[in-house]
Chains A and B, each alone.
Chain A
Amino acid sequence: MDTPFAITLGPGSSSVNRTGTWRTERPVYVDRLPPCNQACPAGENVQGWLYTAEEGDYQTAWRQLVAANPFPAVMGRVCYHPCETACNRAQLDHAVGINSVEEFLGDEAIRRGWVLPTPAPDTGKRVLVVGAGPSGLSAAYQLCMLGHHVEIRDSAARPGGMMRYAIPTFRLPRDVLDAEIDRLLALGIDFRPNTPVTDLTAEHGFDAVFLAVGAQLAHRAYVPAAQSARILDALELLGDTAAGGRPLLGRTVAVYGGGNTAMDAARTARRLGADEAIIVYRRTRERMPANDIEVTDALEEGIRMKWLSTVKHADVGVLTIERMELDEKGVPQPTGELEELRADALVLALGQDVDHTLVDTLPGVRVEGGVVQVDGHMMTGYPGVFAGGDMVPSARSVTVAIGHGAAAARNIDAWLRGTVATPEPEREVATFERLNTWYYSDAPETVRPRLDAARRVSDFAEVTGRLDVDTALYEARRCMSCGNCFGCDNCYGVCPDNAIVKVRTGHGYAIDLDYCKGCALCVTECPAGAIDMIPEPD
C-alpha cells in the first residue's frame, strides 16, 4: 500500500519507544519464605511439595518431601503440624490440610513401593548414631544420602524409639512405621539392635558421633501411696500395650499429668477396658502442655478431666485429691480442700527425663537442666560428638527430632569435610498481608474421616482416616503458594504494557525492562506476593 505520510503508520511500530525509561521502581520476582516452611520443625519445603502435589504428580511431591523428612506416613499421623498453625490460609478460611496431604503421600509411597533416592557415592567416612528413634534415624538417613557410612545402635530390640514404644497404635499403626523405617534402613544403614552404648570413649573407628537417646526415663515424682495401691508408669503402660500386652488396670483409671503422654495413657486405658479414665492435672486446660488435638480426642472418647487437682495420696481403689488454685503468676497453689476420687489404678504421666550417663564420661559436654547442651551446629562440647532430639533443649516431638537429625547431618557432613555448614540465607516471610487473597477460590478444608467415639474405644483401630486421591488433590490445591510464584499468569496478564514475558527458565516469567513503566500492578495483583518493587538502580 502506498500509504500517506504520517497519517498512516505501520502496525506495532511503537515498540521502538522504550517506556522503561519512565520507571523509578522496578518489579522483581522473589521467593519469600512461606510461613508453613518456616514453621516446619523438620525443615520441609511444604509449599514446594504441595505445589507439585497440586499437579497430581504425587511421586515427585513425595520425593521433594522425603528430601527433608523420610517419614511422611508417620508424620501424617503424629505430627502436631505447626505448619498448619502458621498457614496463611487459616486467616482466610481454614489452614491447608498439609498434614493430611503429607500422610496421603506417605501412604501412596508405601502402597506403590516408591523407593528412596540412591545415596551419593561412598565418602569413606563413618558415623556412629546412638539411638534409633526419629532423630537418630533422620540423621542416619541424611548422612547416608550424603555418602557416609552410618552405623546405628539401639538398646531396644527394634528401631523407632518412642514412635514404636510410646505412641499408641491407634494413632500410629506399626505396619506404617515399619514400612518407613525398613525402607530407610534398606539404603544400606548398618542397624544394630539390642546394642546399648554405654561408654563413648571406648568407641573407635568413627569420624563423628550423633547422639539421639531421647528422654526415656519416666519422671519420678513422689506420690504417697498405700503398699498395695496399683500405681504404674505411663511409658510402661504404653510400651507394654504397643508390644501387644494387655496390662490389667481395673474399671476406673486415673492418669496423673497433663501432657500428651497422659492423653495417650488415658485413651489406651479406655481401650484396655477401663469404663472410666480420669485425667488429674494441676492446672487448667489452657495451661495443659498436651496438644489441643489430643485433648479434644480424649474428651471425645469420654475421658474426664479433673483440672486444678493434685494426687495427695493413693489408696487401694481410691485417691485423695487436693484442689489447687492458680496464683497471679499462674502457678498452682494448694488450697487444702480435699476430696476422694475412686480409681482402681493410678498411671503416672509426669514427663520424661534424659539418661545422660552416656556423656558423663565425655570431657567438655555440658548437661544443664537435665538435658545435653549443644551449640548452633548441634555439636556437644566434645568435638565430633553431636546430639539432637529429646535429649537436647528443645520442644519434644517426632518432628523436632527429625529436624534435629537432619540439621545434625548437615553439620556433621561439614565437619567431616573440615568446614562449617553455612546456614540457609534468611528469606523474608510471606506474611498474609503480602498476599492478594481475592484470587483464591472459596474452598473449605477437607476433614479427614474419623471413627466415631464408641467404635474407637472398643479396640486399637486407627482413629483417623485418610484422604483419597481427589480430596488430597483438592487439599493440596487449597495452598496459596505464599511468597512463591505458582504460575497463575496474573502478572503476565495485568501488565498494561505487556512488559512481562513468558520464559522457559526460572519462574517462567521475566520483566521486560525496556517497556516496564514500574506501575506495580503486577505486584498488587500477584496472589502469592511473589513480586517485589525495588528502587530503580542508578
Chain B
Amino acid sequence: MRRQLEGSRAIAETVARCRPGVIPAYPITPQTHIVEALGTMVRKGTLTSCRFLTVESEFAAMSAAIGASLTGSRVYTATSSQGLLYMTEAVFNAAGLGAPIVMTVANRAIGAPINIWNDQSDSMALRDSGWIQLHAPDNQAAADLHVLAFRLAEELSVPVMVCVDGFVLTHAFEPIDVPEQEIVDAVLPPYRPRQVLDPDAPVTIGAMVGPDAFTEVKYLADHALRSAPAVFERIAAEFADAVGAPQRRACCVQDYSTTGADTVVVALGSVTGTLRDVVDSVEGVGVLTVTMYRPFPAEQVRAALAGARRIVVLERALASGAGGIVTSDVRSALAGLDVPVHTVIAGLGGRPIGAASLRELLTRPGLGDVTFLDLREDVIDRELGREAVHETDRETAYETDREPVAERDGQPAIEFDREAAGEFDRELDSQPALEPAGEFDREPAGEPAGA
C-alpha cells in the first residue's frame, strides 16, 4: 500500500519490519529522522524485542553494533558524513569480523567547511572498507533495499551500507509502499549468525592474525564480497516476486535508454531520476544507474556500456587531486575498450543538479576530462586572481564549466540560501520536531558564510 511518507520514515518502517534486535544510534543530520522514528517505535512498543541504544558517538554506535551482531542479534544503525568518518575504524572492523550489520548512510558532504547537505563524499571515502554499498535511486528503492540488505548481509556475513542521498531522499515526501510484514518475513528469515559469543560453545572472535595468514583472510573476504552481485540479484528477484511488482526488482546496475545511445551517463543515487527526465528529451543519451557500488559490478557495467561511444560519469564526490572516483571504477571496467570517459563533478555540498544544467552539459559539443557542473566561475576567477602564485597553474588544473550559470537558468542554484535550506528541512519534517528544525550542527543563521 502506497502512502505519502517521508523517505526517512519509510526507511525506518521498513527497518522495523526487518525485526532488528539492537539499534545503536547517534544523531547527525540528515540521518536523524530515521533513528528518531525507530527509537519512538521501540519506546511505544510497536517495535518489540529490540534495544535502542543512545550511544555517545558514532564510533560507539558501530562498536555496539559489532558487539550486538556477534552476539547473534540483527543490528541496524544509521549515520552520515562526519559520523561515518568518526566511526571509520569500527566500520572496517565490522567488515573484518564479518558482522552482518546494516547501516543507512544518509549521504552528506564532509567538512571542512562544515556542510550538512548532500553529496556522496562520505560513503565514497569508505568504499573500500569491506562493506557492500548499495545506492538508492529513489525512496521506494531506499525502503526495499533495506530488506535486501539484511538478507544479503546475513547470507554472506558481510555488512551492508545503504546509501541514501541526504535531504533529497531522506527528507522528501513521496508515495511509498513500505514492504508488508509478511513479505519482509518471507524474504528475510530469522538471523542465523555465522559465529556468535555463546557460553555453550565458546570461541575466540577477533584473533590477531600475522603475515602467515592475513593475506588469506583478506582474499577470502574479497571472495565473499565478489559473490554479492549474483546473490543480490537472486534475492532482489525473490523480493520483487513476493511484492508482486516486477518494476521494484533491484539490479546491481540499471540501464535506461542505453540501447543505441551514443552517450551513456553513469550515476549513483537520486540524481539518476533527474537524468532520466533529461535524457528523455536529449537525443542519443542513456543512463546507467549503479545501485551496487561495492563490490563494483564491473562485468555488468562493461556489458551495459559496451555500445556507447562516449561515457559521462556524474559524480557527487571528488577525489581531490585525482578527479572522479566512480570514473576510475568505470574506466577499469572498460579496460581495453576505446571509449572516452568524462567525469562531471556535480552537486557537492548540496548544490542542486538542475535539469537545465544537465541538458546543456550533455548537448555541449566538447567535454573535458573533468568538468565541474555549475561552477561559479566569477568566484573562482576572483579568488584565484588574489592568489597570483597559483595563477599560472590554473588553466591546466581542470576543465571547467565556463558559462555563468545564472544566465542559463533562473534557478536559485548558485545563490544557494542557507536560510532557505533550513526552511526546506522544516517544511519536509512530517513530525513536529522537538528541537527547532532538527538541525543541530547547522551554523547559526545570519553568520557570514565561510566564517
**A4 close to chain B: CB less than 8 A:** yes
Q: Which residues of B contact A2 (CB under 8 A)?
A: 194-195
**A222 close to chain B: CB less than 8 A:** no
Asked whether, in the complex, the Cβ of A6 is within 8 Å of the Cβ of B216, the reply is yes
Q: Which residues of A contact B194 (CB under 8 A)?
A: 1-4
Asked whether, in the complex, the Cβ of B204 is within 8 Å of the Cβ of A9, the reply is yes
Interface string of B205-220 (1 = CB under 8 A from A): 1110100011011001
The B interface, classified by DSSP as helix, strand, loop or mixed, is: loop
Closest to B194 in A: A2
Asked whether, in the complex, the Cβ of B195 is within 8 Å of the Cβ of A6, the reply is no
Q: Which residues of A contact B205 (CB under 8 A)?
A: 7-8
Closest to A4 in B: B98
**B335 close to chain A: CB less than 8 A:** no
Q: Which residues of B contact A3 (CB under 8 A)?
A: 194-195, 203
Asked whether, in the complex, the Cβ of A6 is within 8 Å of the Cβ of B213, the reply is yes
The A interface, classified by DSSP as helix, strand, loop or mixed, is: loop
Q: Which residues of A contact B201 (CB under 8 A)?
A: 1
Counting chain B CB atoms within 10 Å of each CB, the highest count among A4, A5, A7, A8 belongs to A7
Q: Which of B184-242 contact A (CB under 8 A)?
A: 194-196, 201-207, 209, 213-214, 216-217, 220
Counting chain B CB atoms within 10 Å of each CB, the highest count among A1, A8, A10, A11 belongs to A8
How far does the alpha carbon of A13 sit from the alpha carbon of B196 in the complex, in Å?
18
Asked whether, in the complex, the Cβ of B202 is within 8 Å of the Cβ of A11, the reply is yes
Closest to B204 in A: A9
Q: Which residues of B contact A1 (CB under 8 A)?
A: 194-196, 201, 203
Asked whether, in the complex, the Cβ of B217 is within 8 Å of the Cβ of A11, the reply is no
How many Å from the CB of B47 to the closest CB on chain A? 28
**B97 close to chain A: CB less than 8 A:** yes
Asked whether, in the complex, the Cβ of B204 is within 8 Å of the Cβ of A10, the reply is yes
Interface string of B166-196 (1 = CB under 8 A from A): 0000000000000000000000000000111
What total of A-B pairs shows CB separation below 8 Å? 49
Q: Which of A460-510 contact B (CB under 8 A)?
A: none
Asked whether, in the complex, the Cβ of B202 is within 8 Å of the Cβ of A7, the reply is no
Closest to B98 in A: A4
Interface bracket on B: 20 to 34
Asked whether, in the complex, the Cβ of B203 is within 8 Å of the Cβ of A8, the reply is yes
Q: Which residues of A contact B195 (CB under 8 A)?
A: 1-4, 8
How far does the alpha carbon of A3 sit from the alpha carbon of B207 in the complex, in Å?
12
Q: Which residues of A contact B196 (CB under 8 A)?
A: 1
Q: Which residues of B contact A6 (CB under 8 A)?
A: 207, 209, 213-214, 216-217
Asked whether, in the complex, the Cβ of B207 is within 8 Å of the Cβ of A7, the reply is yes
Closest to B219 in A: A5
Asked whether, in the complex, the Cβ of B216 is within 8 Å of the Cβ of A7, the reply is no
**B157 close to chain A: CB less than 8 A:** yes
How far does the alpha carbon of A7 sit from the alpha carbon of B206 in the complex, in Å?
5
**B96 close to chain A: CB less than 8 A:** yes
Q: Which residues of B contact A10 (CB under 8 A)?
A: 203-204
Q: Which residues of A contact B97 (CB under 8 A)?
A: 7
How far does the alpha carbon of A76 sit from the alpha carbon of B194 in the complex, in Å?
73
Asked whether, in the complex, the Cβ of B157 is within 8 Å of the Cβ of A7, the reply is no
Q: Which of A8-50 contact B (CB under 8 A)?
A: 8-11, 13
Asked whether, in the complex, the Cβ of B207 is within 8 Å of the Cβ of A5, the reply is no
Q: Which residues of B contact A5 (CB under 8 A)?
A: 213, 216-217, 220
How far does the alpha carbon of A6 sit from the alpha carbon of B210 in the complex, in Å?
10
Q: Which residues of B contact A4 (CB under 8 A)?
A: 98, 157, 194-195, 217, 220
How many Å from the CB of B71 to the closest CB on chain A? 13
Interface string of B237-270 (1 = CB under 8 A from A): 0000000000000000000000000000000000
Asked whether, in the complex, the Cβ of A11 is within 8 Å of the Cβ of B204, the reply is yes
How far does the alpha carbon of A5 sit from the alpha carbon of B209 in the complex, in Å?
10
Q: Which residues of B contact A8 (CB under 8 A)?
A: 195, 203-207
Q: Which of A91-131 contact B (CB under 8 A)?
A: none
Asked whether, in the complex, the Cβ of A9 is within 8 Å of the Cβ of B207, the reply is yes
How far does the alpha carbon of A5 sit from the alpha carbon of B98 in the complex, in Å?
11
How far does the alpha carbon of A134 sit from the alpha carbon of B213 in the complex, in Å?
79
How far does the alpha carbon of A4 sit from the alpha carbon of B96 in the complex, in Å?
10
Closest to B213 in A: A6
How far does the alpha carbon of A6 sit from the alpha carbon of B201 in the complex, in Å?
17
| 30 pairs from A and B in contact (CB 8 Å cutoff) | A1-B194, A1-B195, A1-B196, A1-B201, A1-B203, A3-B194, A4-B98, A4-B195, A4-B217, A5-B213, A5-B217, A5-B220, A6-B207, A6-B209, A6-B213, A6-B214, A6-B216, A7-B97, A7-B98, A7-B205, A7-B206, A7-B209, A8-B203, A8-B204, A8-B206, A9-B204, A9-B207, A10-B203, A11-B202, A11-B203
Q: Which 10 A-B pairs have the closest CB atoms?
A: A9-B204, A6-B213, A11-B202, A3-B195, A6-B209, A9-B207, A8-B205, A6-B217, A8-B195, A1-B195
New A-B pairs, 11, CB < 8 Å, besides A6-B213, A11-B202: A1-B196, A3-B195, A4-B98, A4-B157, A4-B217, A5-B216, A6-B217, A7-B96, A7-B98, A8-B203, A8-B207
